[in-house]
Amino acid sequence: MNQTLRAELRELLQQRIVELAAGSTSDDERSEAIELDQARVGRLARMDAMQQQSMFVATRIRNQRQLARLQQALVRIDSHDCGYCDACGEPVAQGRLRIDPAARLSIGCAGRT
């Protein structure tokens, strides 16, 4: 992988990390404990609030995993391990890396999993 592509991928990864980190701070507020006071909130409203809270928690977990995946890709770029398929060792297509700079599998190997 050439230096230009490596710099481009590093930039993409850093942008996505910033975006995810910014989004996760606003989601933290929405995943706080919900009010279960039956005198103040109806049953359907409580059920809806619990479902929304579950969705926010799931989204936060997914974002944390994605953030870790992106940070690992930055480490691989710096160690020159980025751009090669973990399964077959062949280069991952540059177009695929531009779409998903954290991709660890070539298109052929990703299709087999």
- Domain range list for the chain: 3-82
What integer is the mean pLDDT of 85-112?
Answer: 94
The amino acid at residue 106 is S
What does each C-alpha distance from 103 to 18, 73, 81, 92 come to in angstroms?
Answer: 18, 8, 12, 8
| Structure confidence at residue 76 as a pLDDT band (50, 70, 90) | very high
Quote the percentage of the chain above a pLDDT of 90: 62
Question: What's the first-to-final CA gap in the chain, in angstroms?
Answer: 25
Q: Residue 5 and residue 98: Cα distance in Å, rounded?
A: 9
